[in-house]
Amino acid sequence: MPKQGVISNQVFKGSRPFPHATIAGGFMFVCFTGRDREGRFAIGDVRAQTQQCIDNIRTVIEEAGGSLKDVVKCTVYVTDRANWEPMNEVYFANFAEDGPHRVSCIVTGLGSPDCLVEIDATAYLGDKAG
């Protein structure tokens, strides 16, 4: 099964050689932290970072012809138990109806000390993929 890396000009691109997403077999695999387009985090604001994660995911999926409704699974990583409920408020406001399967983890850290949340999403795009 061929795979295709996807890079968007609408979201932050770090210095590492990773695509923003990979499409294979009708699925899109995409993962983001809460960095804005310029690479900044909303320092100490898990709600803003969660929304930015979801906005970044939405942007890349929409560029491929899909929408958040195509997301079938998310894994959410949060760095502090105190941020659990604020993250959930934003997450469920975006995935309120017929939301994806979700796995959640509280972790001791992510790639940057300013990063409070990271979301890994899988969307099924079917024939739209590619």
User: Crossing angle for the helix pair 84-94 and 46-63, nearest 10 degrees?
Assistant: 30
CATH code of residue 33: 3.30.1330.40
pLDDT tens-digit series, residues 12-71 = 988 888 899 999 999 999 999 999 999 999 999 999 999 999 999 999 999 999 999 999
Whether pLDDT at 107 is above 90: yes
Residue range 118-130: average pLDDT? 89
Q: Which domain holds residue 40?
A: 4-13+20-124
Within-domain flag for 130: no
Residue 39 is assigned to a structural domain of this protein: yes
Structure confidence at residue 130 (pLDDT):
60
Cα–Cα dist 10/1, whole Å: 28
CA distances (Å), 29 to each of 42, 44, 102, 115, 123, in order? 25, 27, 14, 20, 7
